[in-house]
Structure 1
Amino acid sequence: VKALAENKQDDALNKAIENASALQISSQDDFVTLFVREYRKLAPEANLSGLFATQRLKDKVTQRSTDSDIEKVLREEINAAVTNSYNVLRTRIDRFGVVQPNIQQLKDRMGRIMVELPGIKEPERVRKLLQGSANLEFWETYHARDILPYMQMTDTRLRTLLAGVDEEDAERTAENNAEVSPSSPDNPSMSAADSLAAALSGEKNANTKNTASAAQYKKEYPFTSIFAFNTGGQGPVVGYANYKDTAQVNKYFALREITGEFPRELRLKWGVSAVDPQGQTFELYAIKAREKNGKAPLEGDVISDANDGYDQYSKPCVNMSMNNDGARRWALLTKQNIGNSVAIVLDGYVYSAPNVNSEITGGRSEISGHFTAEEAKDLANVLKAGKMPAPARIVQEDIVGPSLGQASINAGIFSFIVALIALMLFMCSI
């Protein structure tokens, strides 16, 4: 539904989708019915045509279309998307090599697909295979040195925000702090500034066990205490964070007070794999969204073939071939970015960002990263099968292992023994 509305930033739209998703778990109504009902509650004066009279639906929806007409179009589009997802899932599973899989569209539950896969030994691998949308994008990037001056002001702006909250809430929170968090040398009461920081991280009373110096440092440097800048300024990586802090960093960058001075074309995306041996540190990339519609200049629909292989360092990778249109656009993109990096992004995460040394013709490209051979094979299969119109989500899962078969055998043997003993007792009593 978001895609059909071309991702409009409409509060009522987003809230209606959220409510409908929650209600769908227990409701017998389909998603479209729930969405329309919720949207009418939230925006009773608005018409659906204002959301869905888009370029994508220009042949089906106009500003004069009624809500009932649009509801019908939405249902048709979603049914088509589910059918497409079903076909993509079947293709992925067939290439995965499962013997006699059972895949069915549940006609009585719109948008539900049942998948039964016998003999699976790696459930987590199958989950990734089923849930990936395979949304492949090729993005231009910034040099870190061009973005760091904006980001280095983040601590200053956060301190200003925290100080403002401290002044506004001092009187209102003093009494609550006294009641809820009594002051003591070992457990000082949480200030309003600390409360805002905890709210932004989604954790109340966080870091209560930190030393006084560490707590003071985090208060003075709320951003750089969890984020390390790429001080070299080379390449598109602007910095690094521990995986536990990535959500916190995202919340900071969601604040307009922080990003208001950032370049309008800047998009920040995390790398898909950790860069340290401990598997805890992730890179943050500076992506350049130059197109007016905010889309990538090149997407995965131009991929005609994909195969797993090994790169020049004998590490697993995925080799891709593009159709004629993709080859032409890829050559233009690489020609315009000689000396810069082009980020290869899959489902919102950066897999690699190779530096472009020369124009690349012929439509050949490669995704490299911290892959295992199996992961490279799965990724190639996903790309070859095509992307789904929306990510699949596993809403219910049951794993039946070989222990169930053994339990049945044991129960059968026990029943046979009991029956035999009963028969012998009966024969002896005659």
Structure 2
Amino acid sequence: MRISKWHLVVYAAITLFGVLAAVPNILTPAQQATFGHYFPARPVTLGLDLKGGSHLVLEVDSAALRKARMDALLNDARAILRRAGERASAARLSGTTLTITLADQAALDKVLPEVRKLATPTSALGFATGASDIDVTTSGTVVSVALTEAGINERMSAAVEQSLEIIRRRVDQVGVAEPLIQRVGGDRILVQLPGLQDPTRLRQLLGSTAQMSFHMVDQTVDPNGVAPRGVMILPGANDPGKYAVEERVAISGDRLADAKAGFDQRTNEPIVSFSFDSTGARQFAEITQANVGKPFAIVLDGKVLTAPVIREPIIGGQGQISGNFSPQEATVLSALLRSGALPAPLTIIEERTVGPNLGSDSIRMGLYTGAAGFIAVVLLMVVLYSTWGLIANVGLVLHTILTIGVLGLLGSTLTLPGIAGIILGIGMAVDANILINARIREETAAGAGAMKALDVGFNKAYATIVDGNMTTMVGMILLFMFGSGPVRGFAITMIIGIAISMFTSITVVRLLMRDAVIRRKMKKIEIHSIFGRVWSLPSFSFMRGRFIAIGTSAVISTASIILFFTPGLNYGIDFVGGIQVEATSQTPIDLATVRKKMEDLNLGEVALQEFGQGTSVLVRVQRQPGGEEAQTAALAQIREGVAEVIPDANFERTEVVGPTVSTELARSGFLAVGLGMLAILIYIWWRFEWHFAVGAIATLILDITKMIGFFSLMQIDFNLTAIAAVLTLIGYSVNDKVVVYDRMRENLRKYKTMPFSDLIDLSINQVIMRCIFTSVAILASLLPMAIWGGDTVKPFAWPMIFGVVVATTSSIYIGGPILLFLSRWWKDRETARAPGAAGTPATES
């Protein structure tokens, strides 16, 4: 209990810094503008599920990038052949290999050096490695050119970086406030746009390559026939017609200097005016002078925007694009042209949109459920520990403030699952205070004075707190590593909360309790509830009923496994992919009409869920065949169909998860669960003994199977939030078992001759009240979330409530019997190996 002044200064500095970091979250925008720079952190950023907006993950099309490079190599190789006097048709593409077949060695000697010059050093693409991006080999008079892996990787990296800048320019030009645009992995880009809820406009803005070019129209070719060499048949962008245009690019879109949306003064129709740079203006003048009276096609991403007839030479380098545009389409097109073309197509592989109304409801529900959960825990501590509970509550308040402060310092984004993480963290932080107070009570009952009870109680509780929190921390770290989006937000708030609870419980609460003892000059610490002395359960022999307990657990787990297969888990779109749209109306919605309309779209299996007193409907459609593009196309059909049968429909939330993302999320989610159990096994083995570790994992498997059965029975969405619930259960369940194991380890040292079954009973009876109190505290924090938390956290809260009950009962009734079985099995095995030995230690008898 001796604390140096330097320690007090450090504790005070950490606390003050954390409180100052949290203060900006209660300032108004005006106060933030005036005083914000005086504080060490900015307010915590709210996620899109709290303030509304759109979230997209785009993937660079690596196949298109490879094809573009190979097409360029083919054109360059044919140009080399023509200059060398060889047939251009000698160069052909076969998959991802360019083959040049030459007539003789002399032709090879002329062509090969020029082909080798086509290599682009990877230093030109990003890093100065000096390696070539192509591999040139020869076999006789045949030259083969293939792309190197290093070259493709460098080209992909450069394409992603270039795409990032182009997307930023596009987003800036449509005026979205505070966008988040960042690279994710090697070939993906994350875009979060607060306040933008029009996914159709967003897909046009971000998914379009915007590769513009100008071509002459070949009027001698029938656009409905077969195109001869040098001519390509392209569809119209805004009309059903087809156009026969020359493959040769007359002017590249790279020559565009500016583009603006406007209106034609004669017809008042929306148009896009453009201008070329000096080189483009000269080329444009030459082409229009030489082709008066001929149509000139403006091509964007393989579609003809318009093909006006050149009436007269255009000298100024300016023109306009018209073609049945809406004002919004003209604005998007001008933004695309100004920002430039993407180096490769971007595919939207994940899309989530939340309306502002749903976001504001989420904030309100998050605050309400958070406050209700916090108040419930605070009241529980006062009921259990009276005045000493108030000291614990000071630690809880500080824990909450510091958690918010650290989130602000890290620049983390707070989502609704993140709020759930804070609330659950408060419930789990109570566990440390319950352990400490329980230990102090025991020391006082054994006759220790006030300061000694405080000292010994904290020391004995410390090891248990560290072991219990470390097992939970392992699961949260893995959830952060393998999770995504809001699930990672939940994990980071839990990690921060667990770390801060260690500080507040071991330092702040200890200092306050020590100060109370010294100021009151207490001789003895009496920790009672507000109703007087805390009653204790009578001693009970849990091992005598072990066969009934294990049998009951086995039956429930077996039933859960059957439920896993029939009816099975209700996998959310995170894992199976697909489309989900939530719409609301001012009047009750006729589900039969909506279902009929959705079935008429022929999009496969459709599921409808009604809620909100019949004024809200959730439409789920299975994953569409045909890749990622098919998902976004189906979303447009669903929105149009819902709007048709519900004229005042307000789309609160849309989600599109393609097959690539759903497969990755499923793999990473189940991998996180598996690695979490393995890490916990290793940690308990290291801190205790092998049979403790195996017993914990065996009990844990039984707990998880029951939770999976609960998901199957209740048909709750099994998505990433469900994986978060499973991993949290793993952490909590092992935490609970570590408390029991820690008491067993302590008693093994104290009662060396006691039979192991009696020792297990003694240990469980000593900690059973702590297990019950902690479980009640966790349930008190979770119940408001389960009742009022909304669809985002309910798939987490209800299974967690069930899981806490299961974990607590298994710690009491299942963990001990399994440990006893393993201990006796090991004893019999050792006896069989050494029949002449005296046997095993008395502690294992």
Calculate the TM-score normalised by the size of structure 1: 0.55
| Alpha-carbon distance between aligned partners in 1 of 2:319 and 2:281, rounded to the nearest angstrom | 10
| Alpha-carbon distance between aligned partners in 1 of 2:365 and 2:120, rounded to the nearest angstrom | 63
1:63 is displaced (CA, Å) by 2.9
Secondary structure of residue in 1 paired with 2:349: coil
Q: Deviations over 1:223-247 (max 9, x none)?
A: xxxxxxxxxxxxxxx46xxxxxxxx
Q: Deviations over 1:39-72 (max 9, x none)?
A: xxxxxxxxxxx9x958864564573699999332
Please list every run of 5 or more consecutive structure 1 residues that lacks an aligned counterpart in the other structure: 15-49, 149-237, 240-252, 254-258, 275-281
Decide whether aligned partners of structure 1 residues 263 and 415 sit closer, same or farther in structure 2, where only a CA change above 3 A counts. closer
Q: Does 1:310 align with 2:275?
A: no
Is the CA contact (8 Å cut-off) linking 1:88 and 1:386 kept in structure 2?
Answer: yes
1:412 is displaced (CA, Å) by 4.2
Residue in structure 2 matched with residue 140 of structure 1 by the alignment: 216
Decide whether aligned partners of structure 1 residues 54 and 271 sit closer, same or farther in structure 2, where only a CA change above 3 A counts. farther
Identity %: 30
Secondary structure of residue in 1 paired with 2:69: coil
Secondary structure of residue in 1 paired with 2:258: strand
Q: Does 1:80 align with 2:158?
A: yes
| Alpha-carbon distance between aligned partners in 2 of 1:56 and 1:119, rounded to the nearest angstrom | 47
Q: Does 1:409 align with 2:474?
A: no
Residue in structure 2 matched with residue 325 of structure 1 by the alignment: 279
Is the CA contact (8 Å cut-off) linking 2:197 and 2:354 kept in structure 1?
Answer: no
Decide whether aligned partners of structure 1 residues 420 and 392 sit closer, same or farther in structure 2, where only a CA change above 3 A counts. closer
| Alpha-carbon distance between aligned partners in 1 of 2:293 and 2:313, rounded to the nearest angstrom | 10
Secondary structure of residue in 2 paired with 1:396: strand
1:413 is displaced (CA, Å) by 3.3
Secondary structure of residue in 2 paired with 1:377: helix
Decide whether aligned partners of structure 1 residues 298 and 400 sit closer, same or farther in structure 2, where only a CA change above 3 A counts. same
1:74 is displaced (CA, Å) by 2.5
Larger radius of gyration: 2
Secondary structure of residue in 2 paired with 1:3: helix
| Alpha-carbon distance between aligned partners in 2 of 1:130 and 1:72, rounded to the nearest angstrom | 28
Q: Does 1:355 align with 2:278?
A: no
1:385 is displaced (CA, Å) by 0.9
Mapping of residues 204-219 of structure 1, within 5 Å: none
Mapping of residues 4-403 of structure 1, within 5 Å: 4-6=69-71, 10-13=93-96, 57=119, 60=132, 61=134, 63=136, 70-106=148-184, 109-143=185-219, 146-148=220-222, 238=223, 259=226, 262-274=227-239, 282-289=240-247, 291=248, 296-311=249-264, 312-402=266-356, 403=358
Secondary structure of residue in 2 paired with 1:147: coil
Is the CA contact (8 Å cut-off) linking 1:131 and 1:394 kept in structure 2?
Answer: yes
Is the CA contact (8 Å cut-off) linking 2:197 and 2:355 kept in structure 1?
Answer: no
| Alpha-carbon distance between aligned partners in 2 of 1:416 and 1:69, rounded to the nearest angstrom | 59
Is the CA contact (8 Å cut-off) linking 2:96 and 2:147 kept in structure 1?
Answer: no
Letter in 2 for 1:288: E
Secondary structure of residue in 1 paired with 2:315: coil
Is the CA contact (8 Å cut-off) linking 1:4 and 1:56 kept in structure 2?
Answer: no
Is the CA contact (8 Å cut-off) linking 2:212 and 2:299 kept in structure 1?
Answer: yes
Is the CA contact (8 Å cut-off) linking 2:232 and 2:246 kept in structure 1?
Answer: yes
Secondary structure of residue in 2 paired with 1:2: helix
Decide whether aligned partners of structure 1 residues 303 and 69 sit closer, same or farther in structure 2, where only a CA change above 3 A counts. closer
| Alpha-carbon distance between aligned partners in 1 of 2:146 and 2:93, rounded to the nearest angstrom | 20
Residue in structure 2 matched with residue 207 of structure 1 by the alignment: none
Is the CA contact (8 Å cut-off) linking 2:288 and 2:312 kept in structure 1?
Answer: yes
| Alpha-carbon distance between aligned partners in 2 of 1:390 and 1:416, rounded to the nearest angstrom | 49
Decide whether aligned partners of structure 1 residues 421 and 393 sit closer, same or farther in structure 2, where only a CA change above 3 A counts. closer
1:395 is displaced (CA, Å) by 1.4
| Alpha-carbon distance between aligned partners in 1 of 2:360 and 2:197, rounded to the nearest angstrom | 15
1:411 is displaced (CA, Å) by 5.4
Secondary structure of residue in 1 paired with 2:354: coil
Is the CA contact (8 Å cut-off) linking 2:276 and 2:317 kept in structure 1?
Answer: yes
Letter in 2 for 1:306: A
Q: Deviations over 1:159-186 (max 9, x none)?
A: xxxxxxxxxxxxxxxxxxxxxxxxxxxx
Calculate the TM-score normalised by the size of structure 2: 0.29
Letter in 1 for 2:136: Q
Is the CA contact (8 Å cut-off) linking 2:215 and 2:250 kept in structure 1?
Answer: yes
Is the CA contact (8 Å cut-off) linking 1:6 and 1:54 kept in structure 2?
Answer: no
Aligned residues: 268
Letter in 1 for 2:155: E
Is the CA contact (8 Å cut-off) linking 1:269 and 1:348 kept in structure 2?
Answer: yes
Residue in structure 1 matched with residue 837 of structure 2 by the alignment: none
| Alpha-carbon distance between aligned partners in 1 of 2:159 and 2:116, rounded to the nearest angstrom | 17
1:396 is displaced (CA, Å) by 1.5
Q: Deviations over 1:87-139 (max 9, x none)?
A: 11111111111111111112xx2121111111103121011100111100111
Q: Deviations over 1:383-426 (max 9, x none)?
A: 111111111111112223331440342354366568879969x7
Q: Deviations over 1:321-375 (max 9, x none)?
A: 1111101111121122211100001111111100011211111111111111121
Decide whether aligned partners of structure 1 residues 56 and 315 sit closer, same or farther in structure 2, where only a CA change above 3 A counts. farther
1:286 is displaced (CA, Å) by 1.3
Letter in 1 for 2:199: P
Secondary structure of residue in 1 paired with 2:221: helix
Q: Deviations over 1:173-217 (max 9, x none)?
A: xxxxxxxxxxxxxxxxxxxxxxxxxxxxxxxxxxxxxxxxxxxxx
Decide whether aligned partners of structure 1 residues 361 and 102 sit closer, same or farther in structure 2, where only a CA change above 3 A counts. same
Higher relative contact order (CA 8 A, sep 6+): 1
Over the aligned positions, Cα root-mean-square deviation in angstroms equals 3.3
| Alpha-carbon distance between aligned partners in 2 of 1:376 and 1:393, rounded to the nearest angstrom | 22
| Alpha-carbon distance between aligned partners in 2 of 1:73 and 1:400, rounded to the nearest angstrom | 40
Decide whether aligned partners of structure 1 residues 415 and 97 sit closer, same or farther in structure 2, where only a CA change above 3 A counts. closer
Is the CA contact (8 Å cut-off) linking 2:216 and 2:246 kept in structure 1?
Answer: yes
Letter in 2 for 1:63: V
Decide whether aligned partners of structure 1 residues 391 and 69 sit closer, same or farther in structure 2, where only a CA change above 3 A counts. closer
Report the structure, 1 or 2, having the larger helix content: 2
| Alpha-carbon distance between aligned partners in 2 of 1:79 and 1:121, rounded to the nearest angstrom | 30
| Alpha-carbon distance between aligned partners in 2 of 1:343 and 1:116, rounded to the nearest angstrom | 36
Is the CA contact (8 Å cut-off) linking 1:132 and 1:391 kept in structure 2?
Answer: yes
Please list every run of 5 or more consecutive structure 2 residues that lacks an aligned counterpart in the other structure: 1-65, 75-91, 98-111, 122-131, 139-143, 387-529, 532-845
